[in-house]
Amino acid sequence: MGIRLIRIGVIYWVIGMALGAYMGATNDHTFRPVHAHLNLLGWASLCLTGLVFHVFPELAKAAAAKIFFWLYNVAVPVTMVNLAIFQTGNAAVGPLLGIGSMLIVVAGACFAWTVLSNLRSQ
């Protein structure tokens, strides 16, 4: 699971950098929040959680770890697409954006539960 999370994180990093380059080249910063969230929720968070699962592979066996993986990897792209749509002025996606954000928080709680309830000192 750790390596998969790191690989997915690297994909988000490239997408985030490309979006940043596009915004710089066009001087259109409409998608600044999307760029920031892609890099934070995608690159940084996934790579850090991936490193945790790589260093402590026993954590990946927990049910909450599997829930984290799938929920997070479904909720983040859906939320980022809705955030981009919202940034273009379409407030109708606000509820979807809120639901996606809450699912990301639930996924984060699953990760926290996995670490706090399963990680033991040596």
Summarize pLDDT for 58-116 with one digit per residue, the tens.
999 999 999 999 999 999 999 999 999 999 999 999 999 999 999 999 999 999 999 99
Q: What's the pTM value of the predicted model, to 2 decimals?
A: 0.92
**Count of CB atoms within 10 A of residue 107's CB?**
24
- Report domain extents, the chain: 2-118
Please say whether the beta carbons of 46 and 80 come within 8 A. no
Distance of alpha carbon 48 from its chain centroid, rounded?
11
pLDDT tens readout for residues 12-64: 999 999 999 999 999 999 999 999 999 999 999 999 999 999 999 999 999 99
Q: With CA atoms as reference, report the closest residue to 13 among 41, 53, 48, 33.
A: 41
> For residue 35, what are its two tokens?
């760029």
